[in-house]
Amino acid sequence: MLRAGALVALGGAAVPLTGCDLFDRGDDKPPPPDSLEPLAAESAALEGRYRAAIAAAPALADRLGAIADTHRAHAEELRKVIGRPAPSGSPAATPTAAAGDDDGLLAELREAEQQGRENAAKACAAAPAERAALLGSIAAARATHLEALK
């Protein structure tokens, strides 16, 4: 009887200790990457490319500024859906076209925008219904950007 009482007492004392994070080693694995991570990173990178193009060709600021703002808004909205902040320290984009070569800058942006539109369309097609509307609007915006860059 005494042994049983001692075991119950010890068992009862041990249970609360294991539930209070006393033995937690922080081995929790981070959540797996979200399928929208690449699209969010691409939106941020596209904004960076537009900002770099504006810096290289200020005369294009009126034409490109609104598109850059749209890419920033898309990246922010995707980050909200993902539920995680953007990684810090995104690399600065630099255009490869020579300064003053507005046509070259626009051609680079069209190429990046075309690839971005394709990526957004693929993501939309593979997305669950609750994400499809957002991704569809991003793909449509990128198609519109292509027209604005002509």
* Residue 22 counted as domain residue: no
Residue by residue, what is the 3-state secondary structure of 92-126?
CCCCCCCCCCHHHHHHHHHHHHHHHHHHHHHHHHH
* Residue 132 counted as domain residue: yes
* Residue 77 counted as domain residue: yes
Give the count of domains, the chain. Answer: 1
% of the chain with per-residue pLDDT over 70: 74
> What is the crossing angle of helices 37-56 and 102-126, to 10°?
170
The answer to whether residues 71 and 46 touch, using CB atoms and an 8 Å cutoff, is: yes
At 88 the pLDDT is: 76
Domain that holds residue 129: 35-148
Calpha distance 91→26 (Å, rounded) = 31
* Residue 71 counted as domain residue: yes
* Residue 10 counted as domain residue: no
At 28 the pLDDT is: 72
Evaluate if residue 18 carries a pLDDT over 70.
Answer: no
Residue 39 structure tokens: 């699209």
Q: What is the CATH number of the domain that holds 71?
A: 1.20.1260
Tell whether pTM > 0.85. no
Express each pLDDT in 81-118 by its tens digit. 999 887 776 555 666 666 678 999 999 999 999 999 99
- In terms of phi and psi (left: phi > 0; alpha: psi -120 to 50; beta: otherwise), the region of 58 is alpha
pLDDT tier at 20, thresholds 50, 70, 90? low
* Residue 138 counted as domain residue: yes
